Structure 1
Amino acid sequence: MKKMLIAVLSLVVVPLALANETQNKLHDFAHHYFSSMVATQAPNATSKELEGYLALLTDDVGHSHLPYVTDDSRLPDGKQAMRQGMTFYLGAHTAYSAELLDVFVFNDSAVAIRYKNTAEGIHPQNQQAISYTQTMMEVLEMENDKVAVIRKYHE
């Protein structure tokens, strides 16, 4: 009887412990992702911060940022395309701050971060002053401990 009870309890307890461990791992990843992403937006950001962020992504990462970028298809050069786009804007901010508001974990396949950010600077393409405050939600679909798809939404 004791052996039967132990067997039944282990079938319940072990999966719960593994699920909790996965949730904690993704929660920690979300905080690391957020810190790395924020570092790329700083006025003094360099390719070092950019590469630290890009290291968290799969090579074929898909990315959407509605309403500006609507296609989140995963392409073989997804990370390279992000590197090129982010390098263009690197250092464009004269001031940047961000506050992580929420982290949501969805089983072992996705995590979402909600944050508020404020930025000022000069747009590198048209040389116009930019200034904004916004609340964003990023849904990160995970694959092999890296971000495979990023979906950004404005509140």
Structure 2
Amino acid sequence: MMGRNGSIHTIVLVLVMLIGFGAALGWPQYEKHRTIAAAQKALDIGKSLAFAEASYKEHYKAYTPDFELLDADLPCPVERAEGKIEMVCSDYTFSLAEGNLVRVAHKNYPKWFDINIDQGSIDCSHEEGSLVGQHICDRVNLSNSKN
């Protein structure tokens, strides 16, 4: 009876170790995928804001830092603090920078997208040496096809 109990414990231990090993290998890949998906979503929101800003400028002859004035569905709340107006989502903040740039900044990583409304260009920037920032910039689709 004792030998049988020991072998069941051994099998359970091996299964737990295999599951743990699989999770240890799979979790970083899952986090990378999740980070890239969030960046792509944030970039798409930024493109929509840039398009709405361009439409706003056609009508009012100027851009607005207050995204609530745009004719767009905002996925996150707009916050006003310390003279800044930002739309704040879970991982990213959105703001109008330098008059004609929609800035999409990550909250935790030194990384951002600048969408130049006038030129229709997108710049993905990150702090030098930031592997996460470089990885995100390398993986997201920077094309303007959704604008």
How would you bin the TM-score normalised by the shorter chain?
A: 0.3 to 0.5
- TM-score, normalised to structure 2, is 0.40
Q: Greater helix percent: which structure? A: 2
- Which entry has the higher C-alpha Rg, 1 or 2? 2
Higher relative contact order (CA 8 A, sep 6+): 1
- TM-score, normalised to structure 1, is 0.39
Q: Greater strand percent: which structure? A: 1
